[in-house]
Structure 1
Amino acid sequence: MAALLRRPVLIDEIIVSPGGPTDHPLNISPDSSWSTYFKDNEVLLQIDKDVRRLCPDISFFQSATEFPCEEIVNSNGVKRLHKRVEQSVLKYSTLERRGLGVAKLSNEIRRSDSVHSGDYAPLNEGCEAHWEVVERMLFLYAKLNPGQGYVQGMNEIIGPIYHTFAIDPDKEFRKHAEADCFFCFTNLMAEIRDFFIRTLDESTSGINYVMTKLADCVKKNDPAVWSLLESQELRPQYYSFRWLTLLLSQEFSLPDVERIWDSMFADAQRFDFLIYICCAMILLVRNDLLSGDFASNVKLLQNFPPMDVSLILNKAVEISNNR
């Protein structure tokens, strides 16, 4: 598996490079490599936007990896995926009318709307940032799983996994962080992929079913809180959709997410334990919920307050033992 993302032949097979003596960008044939290239870029553009904002509270993802993919770095930037969707920069002048003529006021640079301040900037040639590694993994996953493709939010799932491998104290483990992460991410997505498929929302493995299980868990462990949320019509969809689909990766800092995942993945019923964790979060703010109205309670649950995750995990274990 460690060789999967490193061998140039596989990268060339999966990441299509257009061209050829009989092919051209206007070729409408479904066999045209240009047609595949343009379709891939639609997916890649969304991935590129998402990974450039991954875990902005830490500098890790915008820093350089010590083990860049040699086939990428040594290709003079040709295979760096972000270059495929980089937006062009246009120079223009602002003019104003003066009498019968016009006068130039200033020269400015206008960038595409898809370039936002605060996004991670690419490093110089010869270097590769961690977010570029994540971008490549997500793009390859989308290519290898065309039935599902890339869905926004997958970047939040893969981020903590890659970070864990890439900061391992053992250099040999860090060296294969990309391949190890891709393997684990693929296996994890095989378990939660139904959360990202809208047509399966109402199935027993879909997200609506899981949110119903969370509501039932709250009802069993704290009827007063459940009754309040029902009376206020504060549905689980308003707050727990993100909790469950992204495995709480956006509710806590990265170290806390990794601590929560460590406990969750160690449990044989890992996604039942995820429900217990979410239930514990609700019960631990029960006093604020019982004294709040609909607006304040939605805000509280959508922006969960900082809390020692050990308290949450201990409460989740307690709930698990009472099931």
Structure 2
Amino acid sequence: MADINFTKKSLLRPHTSTLPGSVKPVETKTGATKLVIGATYSYGQTVSINNSDGLRYLQSQSPQSPRREPSPNPSGSAFSSDANDDISEIDSSIDKLRDHNRIKESQTKEVDDEKVSVVISSDQSTLVEKSSIGLKPNIDLLIKDPMKAIDSMKLSDSTVSRLDETQRLRFERCLNKFKDVLQSANIDLDALRNLNWLGIPNELPSELRSITWQLLLEYLPCNADRQVKTLARKRQEYFEGVSQAYARGIAGLDQTIWHQIHIDVPRTNPGTILYQCETTQQCLERVLYVWAIRHPASGYVQGINDLVTPFFQVFLSFYIDENPENYDTSCLPKNVLDVIEADSFWCLSKLLDGIQDNYTFAQPGIQRQINKLKDLINRINAPLAAHLQKEGVEYLQFAFRWMNCLLMREMSLKHTIRMWDTYLAERSDGFSVFHLYVCVAFLDKWSDELKTRDFQGIMMFLQSLPTAKWKEQDIELLLSEAYRLKSLYHEAPNHLSRV
């Protein structure tokens, strides 16, 4: 990959960025307007941003507005300004995480000399310490050919020690079924989908999910003879795209797109150390920017920043033995970080190819899904539908975010990854049709609670659903109910309607 200076330089001028939609900005006296999905954004004043200080500067310039209560019967355009979480609610979390990262970085420098390798930074003539702690063995081989990991896959000693004999045998059988499919010269994707639909247990090696996802997204070829060459070619293509996009540095980028991404990425998963690490944020910014300029019909839209994180986390876990959510990616060797970034880009692209109309002008894909959600609730749970109508609740007011971010704002990332096992097994419509039925089952689950509340109570409840303590069993039940509903109602004739 060519040397590129990724240092965050000053934003040369205030500007207005336009995203799909028709909502006009309301300027404030002190800084940036509140961000709106599918609207026009404006920024208040010229600022100088260098490295991580930029985020803190922007935060210090943004007014801390109190949490707004939902107003009765807001219009669709007014609602769109509430489609994402308020910035002020996460500022404190970001600052705490940054303090934690500074402490962790200082501790990393005290690692024994024999565990530290010194490398030259690609964008500065300075020596940077890189720790290899937590990396799996044979990294260079795994980078070149991830399928080499299959031969050595087994339950870890720590996993075996906490399982009884019956559990151990069950997980070993499950692992062997995956290995039998994956070790074929031409992998049977239907057989792999059947295994993956039920989810990859956490007790199995983390490498398994990374390989399976890449195969199901058809990024990694099924033919064993083509896999190494294809990976090398696609990764090189991504790096060339980055080199071209950043050829003139940050100042040469499309400032409309770059500024929005640069603001959104630090807000992504603010409670997780991995995503508050500056190295991770720079990777995500490059992935999102290159994707946006390669897809001018949609460009970058708020919400896409969430969708890249499951890929980044799953592919990171392929190379490390630690919990990825607590991992500092500045400890990774550059060649490992590069392939994680490139693989995340291509898999995000594959996912978005199937739902791109969710992010084009006026986001017609999301509007269609919300209309279908309303129709299905009318058919499946008429009392709930009648109560929502009586209280004047519009589905757009709560379901927009469910479709735009694929329920990632309502679930933990760990549970999102489990859901995506099934989504990827549902062929090309997993993130559209099957996700719609997951949302139907999700809304129906809260029916008893919602029918006891008025408009204000309904909106407050749906904006802060009690899923924080959910276990994997809850996700399994949700997916099972979604499958049942899809089997009954997808393309069903009108006589099945209950209303």
- Tell me if the contact between 1:225 and 1:290 (Cα under 8 Å) persists in the aligned partners: yes
What is the CA distance between 1:51 and its match in structure 2? 0.9
Question: Quick one: structure 1 residues 147 and 208, their matched pair in 2 at CA, closer, same or farther if it must change by over 3 Å?
Answer: closer
Instruction: Say which of 461, 466, 482 aligns to 1:316.
Output: 482
Runs of at least 5 residues in structure 1 that lack an aligned partner in the other structure: 19-32, 64-121, 123-128
Runs of at least 5 residues in structure 2 that lack an aligned partner in the other structure: 1-233, 322-334, 490-499
- Give the distance between the partners of 2:248 and 2:337, measured in 1 at CA: 29
Instruction: Say which of 341, 361, 380 aligns to 1:198.
Output: 361
Correspondence for 1:101: none
What CA deviation, in whole Å up to 9, does each residue of 1:69-117 have, x standing for no partner?
Answer: xxxxxxxxxxxxxxxxxxxxxxxxxxxxxxxxxxxxxxxxxxxxxxxxx
Structure 1, 235-244 or 42-51: larger mean CA deviation = 42-51
Instruction: Say which of 188, 199, 208 aligns to 2:367.
Output: 208
Instruction: Say which of 243, 247, 251 aligns to 1:12.
Output: 243
What CA deviation, in whole Å up to 9, does each residue of 1:225-276 have, x standing for no partner?
Answer: 1111122121110100010111111111110111112212211331211111
The one-letter amino acid of 2:245's match is I
Query: Is 1:281 the counterpart of 2:442 in the alignment?
Result: yes
Structure 1, 258-267 or 243-252: larger mean CA deviation = 258-267
Matches within 5 A, 1:168-207: 168-169=318-319, 176-199=339-362, 201=364, 206-207=365-366
- Give the distance between the partners of 1:229 and 1:198, measured in 2 at CA: 28
- Give the distance between the partners of 1:148 and 1:291, measured in 2 at CA: 40
What CA deviation, in whole Å up to 9, does each residue of 1:200-243 have, x standing for no partner?
Answer: 52xxxx22111010111111211111111122121110100010
- Give the distance between the partners of 2:483 and 2:435, measured in 1 at CA: 11
Indicate the RMSD between aligned Cα atoms, in angstroms: 2.3
Matches within 5 A, 1:292-311: 292-306=453-467, 307=470, 308-311=474-477
What percentage of aligned pairs have identical amino acids? 26
Question: Quick one: structure 1 residues 200 and 255, their matched pair in 2 at CA, closer, same or farther if it must change by over 3 Å?
Answer: closer
If the length of structure 1 is used for normalisation, what is the TM-score? 0.67
- Tell me if the contact between 1:167 and 1:174 (Cα under 8 Å) persists in the aligned partners: no
Question: Quick one: structure 1 residues 150 and 2, their matched pair in 2 at CA, closer, same or farther if it must change by over 3 Å?
Answer: same
- Tell me if the contact between 1:2 and 1:179 (Cα under 8 Å) persists in the aligned partners: yes
Query: Is 1:142 the counterpart of 2:375 in the alignment?
Result: no
SS in 1 for 2:255: helix
- Give the distance between the partners of 1:318 and 1:189, measured in 2 at CA: 26
Query: Is 1:3 the counterpart of 2:236 in the alignment?
Result: yes
Query: Is 1:252 the counterpart of 2:411 in the alignment?
Result: yes
Matches within 5 A, 1:17-166: 17=248, 37=252, 40-63=254-277, 122=278, 129-166=279-316
- Tell me if the contact between 2:358 and 2:404 (Cα under 8 Å) persists in the aligned partners: yes
Correspondence for 1:262: 421
- Tell me if the contact between 1:15 and 1:140 (Cα under 8 Å) persists in the aligned partners: no
If the length of structure 2 is used for normalisation, what is the TM-score? 0.44
What is the CA distance between 1:137 and its match in structure 2? 0.7
The one-letter amino acid of 1:214's match is L
What is the CA distance between 1:61 and its match in structure 2? 2.0
